[in-house]
Structure 1
């Protein structure tokens, strides 16, 4: 969820909390006014000279409405880029429970702009299809399509300024879930495709995963979910509705897309993530109902020998970085250290 959620008032109706309406055909109507957007600013000459980031929207698949918003720090435009000073690539996936939000939402636009500046990295924020019109794994499929498009792109902002051998996948909330599940797919394909001709993403080389307050769940509530059952930002009724609308029909919250702790789930692929040398960072706070499963995931990865680090703050709330600039800056400092560490 985004900082817009902070404005929500107490209610037992998750549809009202999310500003959506159910339709008889199983689709939902979204209140676009609740999620203000910001246009891209791709022209350096027309852009405010004080704006340190330029942005551009690029369509991947118009029939599926898959598109990217590229965030390019202005600084590389001031001098010719060589192979030695190209920038890391952060491929970012927004939250919203798989049912709402997009990269052009003001909160995500500002967050990705800040990340591009603080890290001096190119950020590519991906728009993917929404449930319930397109239930999981549609969003995962779209993410894979986006990665394959990025690896073969002719877009000059990427070919000129990006170090494709230094790529990180990052997601917030539902986007963190997406990154985890997509990573399992990519890792399996990378290891199985020994001749490197079909499934791998070369020249795009993933170095690590950043799961920011990733959204996972299960049929049995965790201690943090019970403690924060009626949380002001992410009450259980909202999480439950998100999974109800996004999981395959008839699935419960112990489905493998939702619960990474399902017995045997991902065990082999975590071994493959280890063998690929990917590093993982999981971030969260104990004011988030989802923290218990986030901590447990870190423990499981540690047990499998994955290079994983968890950063969990006291207090806070879900999506805190979208509403409090100092928290965003603290997160960016963690990300910078993670991305640029050897």
Structure 2
């Protein structure tokens, strides 16, 4: 029976198996996502809490220790990675990382939830992320449903950020902002950490979870396929973070070069960490290179 089961299943990312899909359509997840509750971190003073809204999926908010209640601090809308298929704002990985980011950079963070493939095929993740971005923007007049955003967020200093697949979504949210606009909100920067973009090579996973896409010719997946469109990035600064041994390194560099050639009038920088692989800063956040990367990110957010 086990042999027959194996023969009827497709396993995606064999080196890092996430799910099996059977011929009858059944999906078996191989990596369930652990979650942790929000907290008041005693070491940093960072508070976190979860939101609920009829207009978007739940998100987790992070607020650094407030010393001046009247001051407004930069706001980072962060979108997690996981190949569009795994992870969550509520996982220990992202909870711990964004607690550290809020503390080190003294920023407020909204950690975005989106529905995952393969149960929910792309582009639904883009739609979910945009709904949360608009929900955040609904607080610009200080009368929204979330008091932390009303009281502490500086809507003149908003950043979109993400890692891996989340960086892909963050880029696409920036492009959509340039088209649709966010009244009263100034998004000043885009932070892309080990971004997941396609090139001209086939990608079995993306082909499966994004069946309506033209793949390497789709600017959502391969921004370099429409270089002139990149001039519409709705911010003035971009930081691309790459890692020397990351299997996506060349795609991050291609994105950086495409933006530079696009005619976009902002400033784009790239920071490459030698000797490290994909999102190493999440798996080993206390190593010196992860600390250096955190310092680079903090500097970008506070420049």
TM-score for both structures, normalised by structure 1: 0.76
Inter-CA distance 29–115: structure 2 relative to 1 (3 Å threshold):
same
Displacement of 1:319: 1.2
- The answer to whether residue 20 in structure 2 is matched with residue 57 in structure 1 is no
Question: Which residue of structure 1 lines up, in the alignment, with residue 253 of structure 2?
Answer: 295
Residues 266, 135 of structure 1: CA spacing in aligned structure 2 closer, same or farther, 3 A cutoff? farther
Q: For the structure 1 residues 39 and 23, does the alpha-carbon distance in structure 2 shift closer, same or farther, using more than 3 Å as the test?
A: farther
Q: Verify the 8 A CA contact 1:91 1:169 in the aligned structure 2.
A: yes
Give the superposition deviation at 1:13.
6.1
Are 1:92 and 2:92 an aligned pair? no
Residue number in structure 2 paired with 1:315 = 275
Q: Is the 8 A contact 2:190 2:235 kept in 1?
A: no
* 8 Å CA contact 2:75, 2:109 repeated in 1: yes
1:18 corresponds in structure 2 to: 17
Deviation at 1:24, TM superposition (A): 4.6
Residue deviations 1:232-265 (CA, integer Å, cap 9, x gap): xxxxxxxx34313321347444433222222xx2
Deviation at 1:59, TM superposition (A): 2.0
Residue 285 (structure 1) aligned with residue 243 (structure 2)? yes
Distance 2:213 2:253 in 1: 28
Contact 1:164/1:204 (<8 A) preserved: yes
Q: Quote how far apart the aligned CAs of 1:214 are.
A: 0.4
CA–CA distance in structure 2, aligned partners of residues 166 and 105 of structure 1:
27
Say if 1:23 and 1:205 are closer, same or farther in 2 by CA, change over 3 A: farther
* From 152, 155, 167, the counterpart of 2:146: 155
In structure 2, the residue matched to 1:171 is 162
Maintained 8 Å contact 1:277/1:307: no
Partner of 1:292, secondary structure, is helix
Q: Cα deviations across residues 85-144 of structure 1 (Å, max 9, x unaligned)? A: 211001000001111111011111111111000001011100011122222221111111
Size of the alignment, in residue pairs? 284
Q: 1:193 maps to what in 2?
A: none
Q: Is the Cα–Cα contact under 8 Å of residues 27 and 132 in structure 1 kept in the other structure?
A: no
Gaps of 5+ in 1: 1-11, 42-46, 190-199, 222-239
Q: Is the 8 A contact 1:144 1:182 kept in 2?
A: yes
Gaps of 5+ in 2: 1-10, 139-143
Give the whole-Å Cα distance in 1 for the aligned partners of 2:254 and 2:31: 36
Q: Is residue 207 of structure 1 aligned with residue 195 of structure 2? A: no
Residue 279 of structure 1 and its aligned partner are, at CA, apart by 0.8
SS of equivalent residue, structure 2 residue 300: helix
User: Following TM superposition, by how much is the alpha carbon of 1:205 offset from its aligned partner in structure 2, in angstroms?
Assistant: 1.6
Distance 2:24 2:125 in 1: 21
From 283, 298, 301, give the equivalent of 1:336.
298
SS in 1 for 2:250: helix
